[in-house]
Structure 1
Amino acid sequence: MTIEQSTHTCPISVQHSQYQKQAEDVLQLILKPNTSSPAIVHIGDPERTRAKLEAIIAQGASAFEVVSDFDFTISKFRHDGIRNPSSHGIFEKDPELTDDARNQLRALANKYFAIEFDPFMPVEEKIPHLLTWGSLTQNIMIQCQLHRSALAKTVRECSLVLRDEVKAFTDLLHERHIPLLIFSAGLGDVIRLLLQRFCMDTENVRVVSNFMRFNEEGVLVGFEEPAIHTFNKTAASITSLANGDGKSSMKRPCVLLLGDSTGDVHMADGATVDDPEGVRGTVLRIGFLNDLIDTQLEKYKLLYDIVLTHDDTFRIPLTVIRTLFQCWETPVQNGLSE
């Protein structure tokens, strides 16, 4: 872009103009049609999204991190028309889990899913039910005396498929030393084993989820606290994150958030610098709307800056970070640098 300025133009104004142009370029790349894919990109408020991109570009790579859900965000929702298993679903394939235990777990899921997604029940009323669900589920698992080695074998052999291009996305984050926080109400042990299986368990990645405790014989004896569920899945609610504990939990002012549920939009609350409520930090939210598109799209467009439908790839998140890095590496006009 050529900027014609008088000799009295303030350099800061030129720099700001450059960030605006770069943000607009990123937005246009996101919206560029891909004729080889059925995926559709929805942006409810383009100006809000452009402003967030501009703020992220202006602060640079050292101010940037990624917070992502795992089930049906990093992993596909469907593959070849078949529903992809969740981390809990993979666990239920463990051969040491008895048929009776498996039936009990499914009965609990049927009961409490209806509560979790009840549109008329307030969140504060749902939370005790979810805690009860988690406690009952964990007790059933513990009673089966499952072995760590059997779980590892189950994960190695499971049918879970990641979204296309997700490995390129995580590889680029690792290469550029960008923290990736994976936040999940699923099973942390299963997720970590999957990351190892797909060569994504790098030093910039941290998983916050429900982790098991095994004894010296490798038998499941309990679960770590606190229990992570849909409605406490925020950086502000986890003490270790609030205290900056962990290899990739440093607070940065700019966050790319990736999720697939309405609750996932709050994952970065408290993840930004000096911002317990997640209000002042710049959080660019990308949401995968995997199902019920006709009834949920407008709601998702209010909650997420970018909504992806009919998309089983990570093309858009990868495009975003690639172009951000290009912006950060491009000197601004008149010799200014970021």
Structure 2
Amino acid sequence: MRPGGLCRIHHAASLASAASIALPCFPPTTFPPPAFRCFRPGTPRAGGGSMDSTTMSPPGVAVRDPKSLVEKKTAIRCAGCSKLQARSPIFCPLLPLCLCNLSVIADFDGTLTRYWIDGRRGQTSHGLLQQGNAEYDARRQALYEYYHPLEISPTIPIEEKTKLMEEWWEKTHGLLIEGGVTYDAIKKSVSEATIAFRDGVVELFEFLEELDVPVLVFSAGLADIIEEVFRQKLHRSFKNVKVVSNRMVFDEKGCLVAFKGKTIHVLNKNEHALDMAAPIHDKFGYPNGYNPDSVLMKQRTNVLLLGDHVGDLGMSDGLSYENRIAVGFLNNNTEMSFKSYLDAFDVVYLNDASMRGVVELVSQLCAENQ
């Protein structure tokens, strides 16, 4: 877990200008725009030439099966149920919109946040936390160095790896409690961290909020840190965005004393975690285990899933959806991982891309079927 650095992003200025940004409008059947489209290795690509499998120099986005993507988009648009009177100013004002029975499920680290920041690896919501106790920071780092190679090992069976991840998370959470983490330490860690949202995330969330499309942010990290990142980096929350992550319990002095509910790690972000969804900045969730947002999500029949790991596809396991479009962000090791990502996701954005392509996709999914 790397020590945090100063995070350089635009704050209020970027929010103030977000509503005035004009994005190009493309017909629903032309996503992605030709300037961003790429194909399988060895086939022609936009701008001439080909994407060689050894050099891996795609222009930015790959579509696994363009025909299938068009069919899914059409099916989602046909499921629209009620027209909206409002229009988002960041989209073409002539584009009719409808509520498309859609829900969005997004991973946080490396999906909503940037992988690289000023040439440095961006920190995660778990990795940025500094306890203010060098001994415990070092012990958590030692756990990372032991378990992370096991996490990414291709030879360990999934059942065994799941147990190892549970073990890693439980030990880490135990050290956080034992080492006396405070909420003040969380705020300080976030302020000093190298973490930033991708360009276009604010526009995406504002548009989804306007459409009343529920958004679940899944993370194996720490909900309280994610909320603090929203607070410090975006200076706002969104009424339709709920966080599904490991949530801390603090005493009256602001000291961590426990974690609420089941542990969420990288291999169990699924239906068992769905009921833990809570609004941003709501530390206590819902009483008696009833979560109306979970019920609403499960009633939605169309899913847009955003992740940066093939394992993130499991985030929709608890939903009985009819149509799902899975968007993957391949941030690093493009040459080695391109095929597996393209086999798993409908659309793959490469090289730490912005979120603006997803913004355009959502505008098409919520366009009136004509």
Q: What is the TM-score when the length of structure 2 is the normalising length?
A: 0.74
Q: Deviations over 1:292-327 (max 9, x none)?
A: 1111111111110000112431011111112233x2
Shift of the 163–120 alpha-carbon distance from structure 1 to 2, 3 Å rule, reads same
User: Are the equivalent residues in 2 in contact too, given 1:257–1:268 (CA < 8 A)?
Assistant: yes
User: Are the equivalent residues in 2 in contact too, given 1:204–1:248 (CA < 8 A)?
Assistant: no
Q: CA RMSD in A?
A: 2.2
Select which of 141, 144, 150 maps to 2:179: 144
The answer to which structure has the higher helix fraction is 1
Once the two structures are superposed, the pairs formed by residues 48-63 of structure 1 within 5 Å of their partners are 48-60=68-80, 61-63=99-101
State the partner residue of 2:315. 267
State the partner residue of 1:45. 65
Select which of 225, 233, 236 maps to 2:261: 225
Divergent runs of 4+, >3 A: 236-241, 246-249
SS in 2 for 1:156: helix
Fraction of identical pairs, as percent: 31
Deviation at 1:249, TM superposition (A): 5.3
Once the two structures are superposed, the pairs formed by residues 48-87 of structure 1 within 5 Å of their partners are 48-60=68-80, 61-87=99-125
Matched pairs, number: 294
SS in 1 for 2:332: coil
User: Are the equivalent residues in 2 in contact too, given 1:183–1:209 (CA < 8 A)?
Assistant: yes
SS in 1 for 2:169: helix
Structure 1 residue 199 corresponds to structure 2 residue 247:
no
C-alpha separation in 2, matches of 1:26 and 1:244: 38
Structure 2 residue identity aligned to 1:85: Q
Structure 2 unaligned spans of 5+: 1-25, 37-45, 47-57, 81-98, 278-288
User: Are the equivalent residues in 2 in contact too, given 1:259–1:287 (CA < 8 A)?
Assistant: yes
Q: Deviations over 1:84-140 (max 9, x none)?
A: 110012213x4x2x1111111111111111111111111111111111111111111
Shift of the 27–100 alpha-carbon distance from structure 1 to 2, 3 Å rule, reads farther
Structure 1 residue 167 corresponds to structure 2 residue 202:
yes
State the partner residue of 2:340. 299
SS in 2 for 1:91: coil
Shift of the 249–294 alpha-carbon distance from structure 1 to 2, 3 Å rule, reads farther
Select which of 25, 28, 41 maps to 1:26: 28
SS in 2 for 1:181: strand
Deviation at 1:27, TM superposition (A): 4.4
Structure 2 residue identity aligned to 1:29: F
State the partner residue of 1:91. 129
Structure 1 residue 313 corresponds to structure 2 residue 340:
no
C-alpha separation in 2, matches of 1:311 and 1:249: 33
Shift of the 45–230 alpha-carbon distance from structure 1 to 2, 3 Å rule, reads same
Q: Deviations over 1:203-254 (max 9, x none)?
A: 111000011111111110111121001111013554456x871446512000
State the partner residue of 2:291. 245
Structure 1 unaligned spans of 5+: 1-23, 333-338
State the partner residue of 2:167. 132
C-alpha separation in 1, matches of 2:236 and 2:28: 26
Once the two structures are superposed, the pairs formed by residues 200-215 of structure 1 within 5 Å of their partners are 200-215=236-251
User: Are the equivalent residues in 2 in contact too, given 1:39–1:308 (CA < 8 A)?
Assistant: no
Structure 1 residue identity aligned to 2:107: D
User: Are the equivalent residues in 2 in contact too, given 1:43–1:306 (CA < 8 A)?
Assistant: yes
Q: What is the TM-score when the length of structure 1 is the normalising length?
A: 0.81
Structure 2 residue identity aligned to 1:300: Y
User: Are the equivalent residues in 2 in contact too, given 1:67–1:267 (CA < 8 A)?
Assistant: yes
